[in-house]
Amino acid sequence: MGQGARICVVDDEPSILRLLQGNLAAKGYEVLAAQSGPETLELIVHRPPDIFVIDMILPGMSGLELIRRVREQSAAPIIVLSGIGDERSKVEALDQGADDYVTKPFSVDELHARIKAGMRRAAGAQSVEPIFTSGDLSVNFDRREVRLNGQQVKMTPTEYDLLKYMVQNVGRPLTHRMLLTAVWGPGYHDKVQYLRVFMGHLRKKLETNSGRPPFIVTDPGIGYRFSADTREESPE
């Protein structure tokens, strides 16, 4: 999926909205434009986007609230576009369900590269081994489906890709740089806050049984490791 995909762009600045509409439409995308959270939610009911670009400061509903509301009904990638560039704001957006964060002023070419990367993650790649299992966890790579105790676990494309990379390297210590480069791309090797937020998401969704040692183990000074050993404890 790429050109021809449907992108929902949400920004209350008409000049930025026109800029993105024109540039993305010229690249072959179908662009849905909205200037507020309520308008966005109404717009996407009958025309679900393949990816979202959302400003953080919007009238009627904050960008964070819109991200949360969108994530309740869609697993499509969400890229935040914002003039607020501090780490706390980025972590808050990622924690609500965003997949990436671009700070204004921005390059349209850079944003387009982020859009393409997000859509590649959403499309995913099939694995030679179709299913991974460890105890009560199973990951079906062909279906991009995760189950825990037989129940499907809802995941965003980025959460799934992070889990997939870890289980495909089960037992192997993975550095922050390795994980960030594999899941987000080489331009993200220093975005450690992304990794902390998404590891927190995976732990919350997968480690629901307090009696079972964790799947995701922190290797201090190195990074993380996916453990299929039911006896192993994490230092965190």
Q: Backbone dihedral region of 149: left (phi > 0), alpha (psi from -120 to 50 degrees) or beta?
A: left
Give the pLDDT score at 207.
87
With a pLDDT cut of 90, the percent of the chain lying above it is: 55
Q: Of 166, 125, 131, which is closest to residue 147 (Cα–Cα)?
A: 131
CATH number, residue 47: 3.40.50.2300
Q: How far apart are CA 199 and CA 222, in angstroms?
A: 15
CATH number at residue 149: 1.10.10.10
Is residue 66 classed as helix, strand or coil in its secondary structure? helix
Say how far apart CA 62 and CA 68 lie, in whole Å. Answer: 10
Same domain? 18 vs 107: yes
> Bigger pLDDT: 119 or 153?
153
- For residue 116, give its domain range: 6-123
Shared-domain flag, residues 95 and 204: no
Q: What is the pLDDT of residues 188-201, one digit of tens each?
A: 888 899 999 999 99
| Residue 14 structure tokens | 């008409």
Residue with more model confidence, 236 or 97: 97
9, β-bridge pairs: 33, 53
**Lowest-confidence pick of 2-6, 24-28, 179-183:** 2-6
pLDDT band at 3 (very low <50, low <70, confident <90, very high): low
Number of domains composing the chain = 2
* pLDDT tens column, 157-168: 999 999 999 998
pTM of the model: 0.70
Reported as a single tens digit per residue, the pLDDT across 103-144 is 988 899 999 999 998 888 777 644 445 788 888 899 998 888
Helix H or strand E segment including 174: strand 174-175
Number of helices (H) and strands (E) in the chain: give both, helices first.
8, 12
Domain boundary among 101, 123, 145: 123
